[in-house]
């Protein structure tokens, strides 16, 4: 009985040991990750494993998983601007490890590639780009400088197996003296803009008043012209009417009407001098005839 119990215990131990070995013989590579096979601490060439469950020799081999999904790094760093101003910046870098380069990255830097590659490269890029801008330009051209940092960082890391997916400058900070100088400059520019605006407004108002005055003068001149033209037309019409009247009189004027007019306006006195050569002197008979023989009738009476 003792032998059977002893034998059973040994079998149980063997089974447990086998189960433990079996459990440690499989490792799961998570979704979005790449597995690296390591044997006695040495990376095996060509041992990149895809996501899923993989077998390895227990206690001899292990599988290290490297995350290939986008990861975010935030860091604080300093640099100098083109005008020798100290620039303190808080940067955010989104990056991912390229699956096909995971083996090379792990073999060279292990799992500390962020500390060994990305952070130093980010410091270097900030210093390089900041030196191309003045401190004021880093503020006014923040988007441009950020894009340039992202492009330079991506170019540095691509050959190392890391792709930069996004880059942002979360914050820029400068010395207190520089900030005060910038604020003073901004105030001065605002005052200048206000003065320029007021000047432009005054010029515009003067121009409007000038145009109003011109329009009024043109209107007054037009009024005078119209009045003068109306008067001229009235005079012309009066002259034409008078000319027409005289023309009508001239057309209707005859010897008889002339004699009749003279007779109607004769005061009954004969001229003191009469002769054949006297101009404008009519014969008494003509006058009497013109008056219808009134003198004769008077004599007969």
Sequence ranges of the domains in the chain: 2-67, 71-174, 178-252, 255-300
Mind giving me the DSSP string for 267-283? -SPPPS---TT-TTPPP
Weakest-pLDDT range from 7-21, 47-61, 193-207, 211-225: 7-21
Q: How far apart are the first and last CA of the chain?
A: 209
Q: What pLDDT was estimated at residue 67?
A: 93
Q: What pLDDT was estimated at residue 59?
A: 80
CB 61 within 8 A of CB 128: no
- Most confident range (mean pLDDT) of 163-172, 221-230, 273-282 is 163-172
Query: Which H/E stretch holds residue 64?
Result: strand 61-67
Q: What pLDDT was estimated at residue 73?
A: 95
At 256, the pLDDT band (50, 70, 90 cuts) reads low
At 22, the pLDDT band (50, 70, 90 cuts) reads low
Angle between helix 142-158 and helix 119-130 axes, rounded to 10 deg: 140
Weakest-pLDDT range from 45-49, 170-174, 228-232: 45-49
Backbone dihedral region for residue 231 (phi beyond 0: left; psi -120 to 50: alpha; all else: beta): alpha
Backbone dihedral region for residue 15 (phi beyond 0: left; psi -120 to 50: alpha; all else: beta): alpha
CB 72 within 8 A of CB 17: no
In the three-class reduction of DSSP (H, G, I as helix; E, B as strand; rest coil), residue 90 is classed as: strand
Please state whether the predicted TM-score (pTM) of the whole model is above 0.85: no
At 272, the pLDDT band (50, 70, 90 cuts) reads low
- Is pLDDT above 70 for 33? yes
Q: What pLDDT was estimated at residue 21?
A: 61
Q: What pLDDT was estimated at residue 269?
A: 66
Q: Pick one of 3.40.50.10420, 3.90.79.10, 3.30.479.30, 3.40.50.1980 as the CATH number of 71-174.
A: 3.30.479.30
Mind giving me the DSSP string for 3-47? HHHHHHHHHHHHHHHHHHHHHTTEEEEPTTEEEEEEETTEEEEEE
- Residue 95's alpha-carbon distances to 89, 161, 168, in angstroms, are 19, 11, 12
- Most confident range (mean pLDDT) of 79-83, 178-182, 263-267, 283-287 is 79-83
């Amino acid at each position: 009985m003792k032998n059977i119990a002893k034998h059973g215990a040994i079998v149980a131990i063997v089974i447990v040991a086998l189960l433990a070995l079996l459990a440690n013989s499989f490792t799961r590579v998570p979704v979005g990750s790449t597995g690296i096979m390591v044997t006695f601490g040495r990376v095996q060439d060509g041992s990149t494993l895809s996501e899923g469950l993989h077998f390895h020799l227990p206690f001899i081999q292990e599988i290290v998983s490297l995350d290939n999904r986008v990861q975010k790094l935030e860091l604080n760093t300093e640099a100098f601007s083109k005008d020798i101003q100290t620039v303190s910046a808080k940067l955010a870098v989104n990056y991912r490890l390229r699956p096909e380069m995971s083996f090379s990255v792990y073999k060279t830097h292990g799992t500390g590639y962020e500390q060994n590659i990305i952070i130093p490269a980010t410091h270097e890029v900030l210093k390089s780009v900041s030196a191309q801008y003045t401190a004021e330009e880093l503020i006014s051209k923040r988007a441009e400088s950020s894009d340039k940092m992202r492009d330079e960082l991506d170019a540095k890391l691509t050959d190392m197996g890391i792709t930069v997916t996004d880059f942002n400058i979360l914050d820029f900070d400068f010395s207190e003296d520089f900030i005060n100088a910038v604020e003073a400059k901004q105030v001065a520019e605002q005052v200048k803009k206000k003065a320029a605006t007021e000047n432009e407004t005054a010029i515009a108002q003067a121009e409007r008043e000038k145009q109003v005055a011109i329009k009024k003068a043109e209107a007054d001149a037009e009024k005078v012209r119209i009045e003068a033209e109306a008067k001229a037309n009235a005079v012309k019409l009066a002259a034409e009417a008078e000319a027409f009247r005289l023309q009508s009189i001239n057309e209707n004027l005859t010897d008889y009407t002339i004699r009749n007019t003279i007779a109607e306006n004769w005061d009954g006195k004969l001229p003191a001098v009469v002769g054949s050569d006297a101009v404008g002197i009519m014969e008494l008979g003509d006058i009497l005839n013109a008056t219808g023989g009134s003198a004769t009738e008077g004599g007969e009476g």
